[in-house]
Amino acid sequence: MKALVNGRVFDGERLREDVTVLIDGERIVALHDAGAPLPAGAERTDLAGHLLAPGFIDVQVNGGGGVLFNDLPTPAGVQAIAASHRRHGTTGLLVTLITDQPAVMEAALGTVTEARRQGLPGLLGIHLEGPYLNPARRGVHPADRIRTPEPDALERLAGHADTGITLVTLAPEQVCEGFIADLTARGVFVAAGHTAASFNAIQRALTEGLRGFTHLFNAMPPLGSREPGVVGAALADGTSWCSVIVDGIHVHPACLRVALSAKPRGRLLLITDAMPTVGTSNTHFALLGEPVERRGGHLTTRDGTLAGAHLTMDQAVRNARDLLNVPLTEALRMASLYPAQFLQLDHELGSIQPGYRADLVLLDAELRVQRTWIGGR
């Protein structure tokens, strides 16, 4: 048994200074009275007054540590990506494949199955962003690889039972009626993104089981007075989730504050949309043949198109607090509890409670990551 002592503990709802967190194996077994003797034989870890919080969960990680998942869809590639983000507090992630050829998609799905079989720490599943997107809202997704669903698309997307979570981002207007419902019935989570769907089309998709919206405001038309579109449908719906890139670049903070006001509490979650530059000093990489340059926090192609983000989850938490003016506890929930709820994993992730997995992050006063634990390790 491990005893994490002398820390401020954010349990998912409130900050506490009166508990010691006891871990046995992969699970939290108790929030122990800080003034009581420790169980016999417990291994004591002094947190030095730092903040212990639920580990961060990122549902959109394209790369990190110099690796783009599309370029290296192997267990080693996933391991390098996960390791680079773990240093920034991410203890659970969906490795993300952007629009690519069917063979690469198949390799990526097989890789995630194998990596999870090997027990790769922190890998919760896969996010397929594309290829069923609207070419007019493709961003940096390669136009020659965007397509409508093939006859075997349902089997391809839902046929890997051991991938863990499978999340698919698609444009509802690019798929036939019933496609989203069929995916949902097979246990696949579906989000709308890179789309120009009308308000009514999104309403239909929601009735089919559309679960959320990928990087709200980005790669979709703006809210209109007579055509609310994707953004209006997302903000008006109280049951769906919206992921947001809070880097001060992708979306103006005022727009995100509007979204926070419109959506019920718990329906906005932080993502990084991270690229291979995270965890490196690299200033250039190739995105499926397209040169991308990093200048400061911006990643852009030659024509100025944003190409993902140079962002980590700990920085996203700091930005949510500082740019969106949310309390620290809410910023932490946006990085842990709310993604866990979106993924239907909140019975074991996103909180520090007895019975939950010991996926934890330790933060100093500046919210810099000091340590992480995944499954108690």
Query: What is the CATH number for 48?
Result: 2.30.40.10
| CB 313 within 8 Å of CB 367 | no
180 and 242 inside one domain: yes
| Rounded Cα gap, residues 206 and 201, in angstroms | 9
Q: Looking at residue 159, what is its pLDDT?
A: 81
Residue 269 lies in a domain: yes
What is the DSSP track for 237-260? -SS-EEEEE-SSSSS-HHHHHHHH
96 and 15 inside one domain: no
Q: Looking at residue 160, what is its pLDDT?
A: 77
99 and 127 inside one domain: yes
| CB 105 within 8 Å of CB 163 | no
128 and 30 inside one domain: no
Q: SS3 breakdown of the chain: % helix, strand, coil, rounded to 5?
A: 25, 25, 45
191 and 216 inside one domain: yes
158 and 307 inside one domain: yes
Where the chain has pLDDT below 50, the residues are: none
> Choosing from 237, 273, 314, 359, which is the catalytic residue?
273
pLDDT in tens, 42-79: 999 999 999 999 999 999 999 999 999 999 999 999 99
229 and 325 inside one domain: yes
What CATH number is given to the structural domain containing 116?
3.20.20.140
288 and 176 inside one domain: yes
Residue 348 lies in a domain: no
Residue 160 lies in a domain: yes
pLDDT in tens, 335-355: 999 999 999 999 999 999 999
214 and 323 inside one domain: yes
As for how many domains the chain has, the answer is 2
129 and 229 inside one domain: yes
Query: For 178, phi and psi rounded to 5 degrees?
Result: 95, -15
Q: Looking at residue 162, what is its pLDDT?
A: 86
Domain span including residue 251: 56-342
| CB 84 within 8 Å of CB 278 | yes
Q: Looking at residue 153, what is its pLDDT?
A: 95
273 is catalytic: yes
In the chain, which residue ranges form alpha helices assigned H by DSSP? 75-86, 102-117, 153-158, 179-185, 199-208, 229-236, 253-262, 313-323, 328-335, 337-342
111 and 91 inside one domain: yes
pLDDT in tens, 315-328: 999 999 999 999 99
137 and 114 inside one domain: yes
